Every structure is written in structure tokens, then in C-alpha cells.
């Protein structure tokens, strides 16, 4: 026997699930009369009734019930095969930009946590040293350091920050068992470009008497300063949130307990408020919920 026409089988399969020609017609975008005609043609082709017509609805005959099972399975398998081979499942994409220090020291180590919550989102992470505007239309979220006075409508602070003195443990030991801050700073500091005025604020706030300690290196980012400190020489004034990895590994230490509150803050910036795309809003909410401050651009530490 030749196989029945696929349109007859489709009408039959839908009617078996709904026990109604009318409901099957709604699903298939046909009229009830058209569904009834297709099933009648199928019954004529097979030479046996598949439904018993009742005043309200229809029920399968024994032969119809036996035929319905393999037909349903066949259509399900065809649907799965089509979806699996030819349907491009949409992956959400998210383009995030941050300073090289924030990206390397804060964001990158924690991104797996966002992936665990949103496994269908593919992130592209780019870095800059200095930034105070979205000059690239492809950026979805920009993480910046500054006062928050930018032209974009979506601006959210990521928390307050403080800066601390940090150096290599061997460098600190070279000043003896009771090091003096004036001696440690007088040996030479690493200045992070853009944060030079903070040294005077630190000196004035704690009455240290060394508003302009000698600079032996100026680094364009906190990351570069920290890597240099880890080699063994110098002291820097660095945002506390950047230090967890270096302190945990014993590569750097905090020689003194001075903590300088920063006048600027770190912000998540988007070109829209609220963000129009679900994945942008999800990332923004994730940042606000659990991320410490970072290093994003503008007029302060990078």
C-alpha cells in the first residue's frame, strides 16, 4: 500500500490529540470541514474508519488508536530532527567593556558566576586604559571610574571604594622590625597615572608629612603597578578591591592601616535606562547585587 498523503496524516495526528476536528482545525489553520475531509480521505485510503463521530467531538476506533501511536511518534521525531539540524537556537550576546585592571582583577575571576546563572549568554569582554564615553556603538555595558557625570542615561554606582598602601613583603622587611611610613614611601613609590593627587590627600588626612613621595615609576594601570610591586620593590596606593588575589597568595602585603576613601566611584554604564535587552539588564543586576568596586576609566586609577 502506498503511504497516505502527509496532509491527511497531519490532520489525523492533530485530531487524535484534541479529540476534536474543530480544535485540530484551529491548530492547523484550517476549517473543521477541511480537517474532516482530509481524515475521510485517509480512512478511504486505508479502508477502515479511524474515528467514531459523536454529537460532541470524536473518539478513536480501536484501529485508529493503534494507528495514532506510531503516527504521533513519527511526527515528534520529524520535529526533533528538524529543530536539531536546521533551527538556529538564538544565543544571547553581551558586549562588556572595562579597564584592563578591573577586567583582569575583578571581573574575569567572577564571570563564571554569571555564566552559571545565565548559561545561554555569550560574553565578549574588551578592555581599555582610559575611557569616559561609549565611542563604540557595539558596547552594551561600560564599567567606568569617575563621578558619574556622563552623557549616557543609564548610570549605576557599583559601590564605594578606598585606597590602601601596598608593597612586597620582602620590601617591607628591608626597613626593619618597626618600619616607618615616611621611610617606606621615601624609598620610592609607583604612581598610577591619574591618581597622583591622592598621595597628598593621604598625607594630609593622616598627617604623614610626605605629600609628594619620590616616584620611581608611573604606570598607566593599577594592574601594571601591582605586577611591578610583586617583583619586589616600591610601594603604591591601590584600590582595596584589586588586591584580594595578591594578598591571598602572599605576593603583596598592606604595610600600614591607612585607608583613604575615594571621592570617585565605579559605575555600570549603559546607553539605555532601563536596558532594553534582557541580557543587559541581567548583567547589570548581577553587577549591582554582588560585585565590589573596580577600575573602569575616566579620571582616576585604572
DSSP states of 3-28? PPPHHHHHHHHHHHHHT-HHHHHHHH
- pLDDT digit string (tens) for 52-62? 998 888 999 99
Q: 173 and 256, same structural domain?
A: yes
Which letter does DSSP use for residue 223 in this model?
H
Which letter does DSSP use for residue 255 in this model?
-
Q: 179 and 147, same structural domain?
A: no
- pLDDT digit string (tens) for 135-146? 777 899 999 988
Query: Which of 48, 67, 86 corresponds to the end of one domain?
Result: 86
Is there a domain that residue 189 lies in? Answer: yes
Q: 100 and 46, same structural domain?
A: no
What cell was used for 74? Answer: 513519527
Q: 115 and 186, same structural domain?
A: no
Range(s) of the domain holding residue 151: 92-157+268-290
Q: 248 and 175, same structural domain?
A: yes
Q: 175 and 212, same structural domain?
A: yes
Domain of 281: which CATH number? 3.40.190.10
Which letter does DSSP use for residue 298 in this model?
B
Question: Which residues, at least 6 apart from 98, have a Cβ–Cβ distance to it below 8 Å?
Answer: 107, 125, 127, 128, 142, 143, 294, 295, 296, 297
Is 199:189 a contact under the CB 8 Å cutoff? Answer: yes
Q: How high is the pLDDT of residue 295? A: 43
Q: 111 and 68, same structural domain?
A: no
Q: Round to whole Å and give the CA distance between 26 and 225.
A: 68
Nearest to 127 by CA among 105, 156, 151, 97: 97
Q: How high is the pLDDT of residue 170? A: 97
What is the residue-averaged pLDDT of the chain?
90
Q: 276 and 145, same structural domain?
A: yes
What cell was used for 223? Answer: 594592574
- pLDDT digit string (tens) for 34-88? 999 999 999 999 999 999 998 888 999 999 999 999 999 999 999 888 877 775 5
Q: Which residue has the higher pLDDT, 258 or 133?
A: 258
Domain of 42: which CATH number? 1.10.10.10
Q: Which residue has the higher pLDDT, 129 or 241?
A: 241
Q: 144 and 189, same structural domain?
A: no
Is there a domain that residue 175 lies in? Answer: yes
Question: What is the pTM for the complete model shown?
Answer: 0.66
Q: Which residues of 110-143 are buried (b: 16+ CB within 10 A; e: fewer)?
A: eeeebeeebeebebeeebbbebbebeeeebbbbb
Q: 223 and 175, same structural domain?
A: yes
- pLDDT digit string (tens) for 220-276? 999 999 999 999 999 999 999 999 999 999 999 999 999 999 988 889 999 888 888
Residue 89's pLDDT band (boundaries 50, 70, 90)? low
Q: How many domains does the chain have?
A: 3
Is 222:238 a contact under the CB 8 Å cutoff? Answer: yes
Place of cell 474532516: 36
Amino acid at each position: 500500500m502506498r503511504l497516505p498523503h502527509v496532509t491527511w496524516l497531519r490532520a489525523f495526528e492533530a485530531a487524535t490529540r484534541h479529540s476534536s476536528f474543530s480544535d485540530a482545525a484551529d491548530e492547523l489553520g484550517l476549517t473543521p470541514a477541511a480537517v474532516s475531509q482530509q481524515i475521510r480521505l485517509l480512512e478511504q485510503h486505508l479502508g477502515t474508519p479511524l474515528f467514531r463521530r459523536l454529537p460532541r467531538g470524536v473518539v478513536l476506533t480501536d484501529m485508529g488508536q493503534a494507528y495514532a501511536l506510531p503516527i504521533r511518534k513519527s511526527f515528534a521525531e520529524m520535529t526533533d530532527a528538524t529543530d536539531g539540524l536546521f533551527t538556529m537556537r538564538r544565543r544571547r550576546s553581551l558586549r562588556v567593556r572595562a579597564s584592563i585592571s578591573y577586567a583582569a582583577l575583578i571581573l574575569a575571576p567572577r564571570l563564571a558566576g554569571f555564566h552559571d546563572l545565565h548559561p545561554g549568554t555569550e560574553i565578549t569582554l574588551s578592555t581599555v586604559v582610559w575611557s569616559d564615553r561609549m565611542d563604540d556603538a557595539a558596547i552594551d555595558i561600560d564599567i567606568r571610574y569617575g563621578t558619574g557625570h556622563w552623557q549616557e542615561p543609564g548610570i549605576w554606582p557599583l559601590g564605594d571604594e578606598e585606597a590602601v598602601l601596598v608593597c612586597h613583603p620582602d620590601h617591607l622587611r628591608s626597613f626593619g622590625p618597626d618600619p616607618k611610613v615616611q621611610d617606606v614611601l621615601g624609598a620610592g613609590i609607583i604612581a598610577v597615572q591619574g591618581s597622583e593627587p591622592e598621595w597628598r590627600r593621604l598625607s594630609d588626612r593622616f598627617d604623614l608629612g610626605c605629600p609628594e613621595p619620590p616616584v620611581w615609576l608611573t604606570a598607566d594601570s593599577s594592574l601594571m603597578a601591582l605586577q611591578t610591586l610583586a617583583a619586589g620593590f616600591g610601594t603604591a596606593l591601590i584600590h582595596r578591591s584589586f588586591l584580594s588575589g595578591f594578598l591571598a597568595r602572599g605576593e603583596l602585603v598592606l604595610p600600614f592601616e591607612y585607608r583613604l576613601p575615594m571621592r570617585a566611584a565605579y559605575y555600570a554604564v549603559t546607553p539605555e535606562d532601563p536596558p532594553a535587552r534582557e541580557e543587559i539588564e541581567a548583567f547589570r543586576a548581577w553587577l549591582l547585587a554582588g560585585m565590589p568596586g573596580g577600575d573602569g576609566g575616566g579620571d582616576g586609577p585604572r
